[in-house]
């Protein structure tokens, strides 16, 4: 058995992957138990694998071995500090966890200062684009003017410190809102592209990785029987789902 | 109900099937032709890695896991192939438990295909749980003190590829391949303080937000999703090879055209049904 498994690891993993893909995408038809089962299998597997990787690649080589085998006893303090987080589950000793949470909040607040000036200051500087100059072409000037028009109108939209009474401010802010909408549209378009790529990835797996092995397996009677049984099971389940649905939502006259 | 009105009430499951069919054609055909147009940010990324001196190392920071494998894996593979082809040493750093295994398998496969060796040409540093900012800041000051060992527990000082890497001075570039907003940590704690080139490879969702960083020069190049990966493959001489990135680029174009057609038809049907309602006082849909 072990030898057979070792020899067919690749095929088995392809079939498991295909089965999981079909199960997860079955939710596009309707919510079902098959989908839920594989969702839980995925969560369990990734959690289990995560524990293994965290121990084998992080805790064991970087914390346990130096502390136990190399005499670097000071690593014990990491365990003490880390375990302080778990006191949040105790009503009586929750204050212990607040100490470590406070430490991390202070650290994050401090880091934000650095984040702000390292990330946004260069962008503010880069926004001051020259419109004319010796090395500036007419096309660069056009680009810079468009950039300033969008920058100023978008900023005008977010001026909340005073009333937008002046028609100039109103019109500029309205233009800013349009530019923002176009920006959001671009982000949404990119999101569609990203989601579509994820679907393409799965479909590519089914078409180019799994399908060739499925065609090879089709020559075995055992496999043909299994496929027929699976199709019948899916049809029966679908028919039962439709029947239950028509009972819940009777067709209107 | 006429045809255009019916278009507004198509069952979503029919649309899913149609999109799957539209996407499946380029995937089955696997066209070898890569996009001939290469965006400036992709070309800049390529040129940045071309300029990395041979005595320096490149850090490939992978935040991705199986969830965004379809987008981030082609980027990772294209970058790895380029670096191995030009003989630039690199280390892979993974911030995702499952992604750690996937990136190792990718690099191993390409490395054996090109006759390169683990330890001499590249090293995998395994999974790092974070905190990201602390590790990034630390590796700029002392690479060996922060990472110490590779994914197999072998000391970096004893591995030829990483033996002489001391700090930021020995790091030629950083490539951040991610589905999330982690690039800000590299900008704030590595790229800006140490002036090391940074290349960003986000999923398409993240790419629109990255353009201000490119404009300000905080990023030296970008690979925008799988399209960026296909364009990068064109630059490294794979323009006539049947790769997943090329097929995905075509499939993506087909899917986009199909979606645009559906949007146009749906809106046309809506406008016509509204007009007929106004004229005849009929019933509106939806």
Mean pLDDT of B54-58: 91
Gap from B246 CA to chain A (nearest CA, Å): 12
Is the Cβ pair B153, A191 closer than 8 Å?
A: no
pLDDT at B54 over 80: yes
Backbone phi, then psi, for A236, in 5-degree steps? -60, -45
Which of B70, B215, B247 is nearest residue A126 as measured by Cβ atoms?
Answer: B215
Percent of chain A with pLDDT over 70: 96
What pLDDT is stored for residue B105 in this prediction? 92
Asked if A196 reaches chain B (Cβ–Cβ under 8 Å), the answer is yes
What are the tens digits of pLDDT across the range B162-195?
888 888 889 999 999 998 878 888 888 888 888 8
Domain boundaries, chain B: 3-27+249-280, 34-239
pLDDT at B4 over 70: no
Is the Cβ pair A53, B133 closer than 8 Å?
A: no
Is the Cβ pair B252, A50 closer than 8 Å?
A: no
Backbone phi, then psi, for B198, in 5-degree steps? -130, 130
What are the tens digits of pLDDT across the range B23-33?
888 888 777 77
What pLDDT is stored for residue B103 in this prediction? 93
Which chain B residues are closer than 8 Å to A203 by Cβ? 20, 23-24, 27, 251
What are the tens digits of pLDDT across the range A92-147?
888 999 999 999 899 888 888 888 888 888 888 888 888 888 888 889 899 999 99
Is the Cβ pair A46, B133 closer than 8 Å?
A: no
Task: Measure the CA–CA gap between A131 and A149, rounded to whole angstroms.
Answer: 12
Is the CB of residue B41 less than 8 Å from the CB of residue B222?
Answer: yes
pLDDT at B10 over 90: no
Q: Considering the domain delimited by B34-239, tell me its CATH architecture.
A: 3-Layer(aba) Sandwich (3.40)
- 3-class DSSP string for chain B: CCHHHHHHHCCHHHHHHHHHHHHHHHHHHCCCCCCCCCCHHHHHHHHHHHCCCCCCEEEEEECCCHHHHHHHHHHHHHHHHHHHHHCCCEEEEECCHHHHHHHHHHHHHHHHHCCCCECCCEEEEEECCCCHHHHHHHHHHCHHHHHCECCCCCEHHHCCCCCCCCCHHHEEEEEEEECCCCHHHHHHHHHHHHCCCEEEEECHHHHHHHHHHHHCCCCCEECCHHHHHHHHHHHCCCCCCCCHHHHHHHHHHHHHHHHHHHHHHHHHHHHHHHHHHHHHCCCCCC
Is the Cβ pair B16, A28 closer than 8 Å?
A: yes
Which residue in B11, B25, B41, B71 has the most chain A C-beta atoms within 10 A of its own C-beta, making it the best mutation to test that interface? B71
Mean pLDDT of chain B: 87
Q: pLDDT category, B46, cuts 50, 70, 90?
A: very high
Is the Cβ pair B204, A50 closer than 8 Å?
A: no
Which residue in A51, A196, A199 has the most chain B C-beta atoms within 10 A of its own C-beta, making it the best mutation to test that interface? A196
Mean pLDDT of A211-215: 84
Is the Cβ pair B225, A201 closer than 8 Å?
A: no
pLDDT at A227 over 50: yes
Is the Cβ pair A123, B212 closer than 8 Å?
A: yes
pLDDT at A253 over 50: no
Is the CB of residue A201 less than 8 Å from the CB of residue B69?
Answer: yes
Which of B67, B126, B256 is nearest residue A57 as measured by Cβ atoms?
Answer: B126
Question: Peptide bond before B205: cis, by omega within 30 degrees of 0?
Answer: no
Mean pLDDT of chain A: 85
Non-local (6+) Cβ contacts of B191 within 8 A are B174, B197, B198, B218
Which of A57, A190, A200 is nearest residue B251 as measured by Cβ atoms?
Answer: A200
Mean pLDDT of A203-222: 84
Is the Cβ pair B151, A191 closer than 8 Å?
A: no
Task: Measure the CA–CA gap between A120 and B219, rounded to whole angstroms.
Answer: 13
Angle between helices B244-280 and B69-86 (to 10 degrees): 150
Nearest alpha-carbon partner for B200 in B221, B182, B186: B221
Asked if A193 reaches chain B (Cβ–Cβ under 8 Å), the answer is yes
What pLDDT is stored for residue A110 in this prediction? 86
What are the tens digits of pLDDT across the range B211-222?
889 988 899 999
What pLDDT is stored for residue B286 in this prediction? 44
Mean pLDDT of A213-234: 82
């Amino acid at each position: 058995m072990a030898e057979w498994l070792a020899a067919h690891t690749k095929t088995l993993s392809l079939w498991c992957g295909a089965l999981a893909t079909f199960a997860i995408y079955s939710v596009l038809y309707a919510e079902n138990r098959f989908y839920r089962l594989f969702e839980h299998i995925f969560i369990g597997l990734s959690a289990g694998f995560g524990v293994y990787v965290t121990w084998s690649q992080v805790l064991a080589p970087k914390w346990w071995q130096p502390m136990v085998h190399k005499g670097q006893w000071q690593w014990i303090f990491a365990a003490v500090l880390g375990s302080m987080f778990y006191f949040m589950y105790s009503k009586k000793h929750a204050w212990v966890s607040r100490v470590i949470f406070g430490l991390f909040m202070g650290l994050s607040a401090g880091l934000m200062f650095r984040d702000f000036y390292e990330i946004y200051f260069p962008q503010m500087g880069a926004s001051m684009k020259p419109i004319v100059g010796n090395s500036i072409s007419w096309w660069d000037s056009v680009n810079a003017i468009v950039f300033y028009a969008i920058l100023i109108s978008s900023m005008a939209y977010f001026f909340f410190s005073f009333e937008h009474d002046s028609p100039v401010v109103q019109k500029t802010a309205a233009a800013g809102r349009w530019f923002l909408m176009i920006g959001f549209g671009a982000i949404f378009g990119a999101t569609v592209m990203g989601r579509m790529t994820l679907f393409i990835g799965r479909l590519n797996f089914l078409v180019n990785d799994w399908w060739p092995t499925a065609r090879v397996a089709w020559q075995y009677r055992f496999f043909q029987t299994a496929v027929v049984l699976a199709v019948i099971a899916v049809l029966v389940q679908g028919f039962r789902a439709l029947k239950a649905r028509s009972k819940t939502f009777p067709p209107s006259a | 109900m006429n045809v255009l009105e019916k278009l507004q009430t198509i069952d979503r499951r029919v649309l899913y099937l149609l999109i799957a069919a539209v996407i499946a054609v380029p995937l089955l055909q696997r066209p070898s032709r890569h996009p001939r147009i290469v965006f400036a940010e992709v070309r800049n990324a390529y040129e940045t890695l071309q300029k990395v001196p041979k005595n320096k190392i490149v850090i490939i920071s992978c935040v991705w896991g199986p969830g965004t494998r379809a987008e981030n894996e082609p980027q990772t593979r294209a970058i790895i192939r380029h670096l191995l082809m030009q003989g630039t040493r690199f280390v892979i750093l993974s911030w995702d438990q499952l992604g750690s295994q996937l990136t190792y398998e990718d690099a191993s496969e390409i490395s054996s295909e090109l006759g390169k060796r683990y330890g001499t040409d590249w090293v995998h540093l395994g999974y790092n749980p974070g905190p990201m900012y602390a590790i990034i800041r630390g590796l700029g000051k002392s690479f060996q003190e922060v990472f110490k060992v590779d994914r197999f527990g072998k000391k970096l000082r004893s591995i030829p590829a990483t033996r002489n890497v001391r700090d930021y001075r020995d790091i030629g570039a950083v490539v951040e391949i991610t589905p999330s907003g982690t690039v800000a940590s590299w900008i704030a704690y590595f790229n800006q303080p140490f002036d090391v080139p940074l290349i960003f490879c986000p999923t398409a969702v993240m790419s629109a937000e990255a353009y201000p960083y490119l404009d300000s020069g905080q990023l030296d190049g970008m690979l925008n999703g799988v399209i960026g990966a296909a364009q990068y493959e064109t630059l490294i001489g794979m323009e006539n090879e049947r790769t997943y990135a090329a097929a995905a680029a075509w499939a993506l174009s087909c899917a986009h055209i199909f979606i645009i057609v559906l949007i146009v038809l749906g809106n046309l049907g809506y406008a016509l049904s509204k007009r007929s309602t106004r004229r005849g006082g009929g019933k509106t849909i939806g």
